[in-house]
Amino acid sequence: MRGYTIFSLRHQIGLVPQEPVLFSGTLLENIRYGRADATLDEVREAARRAYVDEFVGKLEDGYATVIGERGVRLSGGQKQRVSIARAFLEDPAIIMLDEATSSLDSESERIVQQALDELMKDRTTLVVAHRLATVRHADQIAVVADGRVSGLGDHDSLLCRDGLYALLCRQQFGAAAATPEPPGEPDLG
């Protein structure tokens, strides 16, 4: 860590916040904010991976469309996909997701979650979420209550402890879905 400057360390971290910060410029400029020197092909590839290409063709001027202050001309899911495209363009080693799907309808959440799943591959990812579906497959989950860690483990181990995480799972998924998965069959191969 001592070998890093603040700038080089921050360059290794990408953020997808609950409310993306968008500017009144074009869609292209807003995606390119993730890396100002990106070529048009690199922007388009990041947009494809973030499912921006699913709606860019419907915009009057495509990537040249002015999206308005805070992206007022885009839906919540579209804004989030622009934020994810920025992160793809940055290509950081660490991704921070701060309630990245919390304000989306079910269909937008499904599309955004697909993009996030792709973004998280082969990266260290820190996820802050109240929707447990977002963290269910994480290697390590830290349950925070009243500013303290009240549980630490993977999904199944936290369910087995029948603590706060298990309670939240029952509330969000129902009793049957909040049951730990049985261990797999041993490989006798």
Per-residue pLDDT reduced to its tens digit, 16-32: 888 889 999 999 999 99
pLDDT for res 30: 94
DSSP the chain: -TT--HHHHHHTEEEE-SS----SSBHHHHHHTT-TT--HHHHHHHHHHTTTHHHHTTSTTGGG-B--GGGTTS-HHHHHHHHHHHHHHH--SEEEEESTTTT--HHHHHHHHHHHHHHHTTSEEEEE-SSGGGTTT-S-EEEEETTEEEEEE-HHHHHHTTSHHHHHHHHHH-TTTTSPPPPPPP---
pTM: 0.79
Looking at the domain assignment, is residue 158 inside a domain? no
- For 97-103, what is the mean pLDDT? 82
Which residue, 72, 97, 67, is CA-closest to 84? 97
Looking at the domain assignment, is residue 18 inside a domain? yes
Please write the tens of the pLDDT for every residue from 36-70. 999 999 999 999 999 898 889 898 899 999 998 88
β-strand pairing of 141-145 with 148-153: antiparallel
Which residues touch 103 (CB under 8 Å, ≥6 apart)? 18, 19, 76
pLDDT for res 189: 44
Cα(16)–Cα(45) distance, rounded to whole angstroms? 18
Q: Give the domain CATH number at 65.
A: 3.40.50.300
The model's confidence at residue 187, banded by pLDDT at 50, 70 and 90, is: very low
CB atoms within 10 A of CB 83: 28
Looking at the domain assignment, is residue 149 inside a domain? no
Our count of domains for the chain comes to 1
Looking at the domain assignment, is residue 71 inside a domain? yes
Output phi, psi for 139, to 5 deg. Answer: -65, -35
Residue 18: domain span: 6-129
- For 8-17, what is the mean pLDDT? 86
Looking at the domain assignment, is residue 146 inside a domain? no
| Percent of the chain with pLDDT strictly greater than 70 | 92
